[in-house]
Structure 1
C-alpha cells in the first residue's frame, strides 16, 4: 500500500496537511518498504482554501494513508471521502518510526481500520504494483 507523510524535510512527520510543503510517499508491504518519491506542493499558488485542499488531495490520491501532525475538519472529511485515512501522530516523530509501527501492525493482527483498508485495496487495484 502507498503511504504519504506530511513533512517539511522528508525525515520527520512535522507538518499540518494544509501547510505541508511536500508529501513523502512510500510503498509498504509485508515484504518490505520502498521509497517512491517526494511530492512537492507548487509554491506561490494563489488558490483559495478549497482549491488548496483539492490540489493536495490530488498529490496523494493513490495513497491509502496520510500521516500528519494536524488536519482541519473540512480537509479530513474530503481526504476520507477519497478513501485516504488520515493518521495524526506526534509532531517530530520520524517517518522511519511510523513506517516501523505500521509494519509491526501489518505483521501481527492489524486493527480493524487497517484490515479494511488492506481488503479494499486488494479489490480496487490501489495497492500498487
Structure 2
C-alpha cells in the first residue's frame, strides 16, 4: 500500500493537511518500506479551502493512509470518501518512526482500523 506523510522537509510529519507544501510517499508492505517520491503541492493563484483540499487529495489519491498533524472535518470527510484514511500523529513525528510502527503493526495482528483499511485496499485491487 502507498502511504503519504504531510511534511515540509520529507523527514517529519509536521504539516496540517490543508497547508502541507508536500507529501512524502512510501510503498509499505509487510517487512519492507520503499521511498516512492516527494510530491510537491503546486502553488495556486486561487487559495480557497475547497481548492486546497482537492489539490492535495489529487496528489495522493493512490495512497491508502495519510499521516498528518491535523486535518479539518470537511477535509477528513473528503479524504475518507476517497477510501483513504487520515492518521493523526504528534507534531514533528519522524516519518521513519511512523513507518517502523506501521511495519510492526503489519508484522503481527494489525489493529482493527488497519485491518479494515487493508481489506478495502484488497477489494480495490
TM-score category of the 2 structures, normalised to the smaller one: over 0.9
Counterpart for residue 48 of structure 1? 48
Cα RMSD, aligned residues only:
0.9
Q: Deviations over 1:65-121 (max 9, x none)?
A: 000000011001110111110000000010000000000000011011111111111
| Structure 1 alignment gaps of length 5 or more | none
Q: Is the 8 A contact 2:2 2:62 kept in 1?
A: yes
SS for the counterpart of 1:52 is helix
How far residue 50 of structure 1 moved from its aligned partner, in angstroms, is: 0.7
Alpha-carbon distance in structure 2 between the residues aligned to 1:44 and 1:2: 26
Counterpart for residue 3 of structure 1? 3
Q: Is the 8 A contact 2:2 2:28 kept in 1?
A: yes
Counterpart for residue 88 of structure 1? 88
Counterpart for residue 68 of structure 1? 68
Alpha-carbon distance in structure 2 between the residues aligned to 1:48 and 1:37: 27
Alpha-carbon distance in structure 2 between the residues aligned to 1:31 and 1:102: 10
Q: Is the 8 A contact 2:21 2:41 kept in 1?
A: yes
How far residue 6 of structure 1 moved from its aligned partner, in angstroms, is: 0.1
Counterpart for residue 112 of structure 1? 112
SS for the counterpart of 1:109 is coil
SS for the counterpart of 1:100 is helix
Is residue 2:104 matched to residue 1:100? Answer: no
Alpha-carbon distance in structure 1 between the residues aligned to 2:31 and 2:106: 10
| Structure 2 alignment gaps of length 5 or more | none
SS for the counterpart of 2:66 is strand
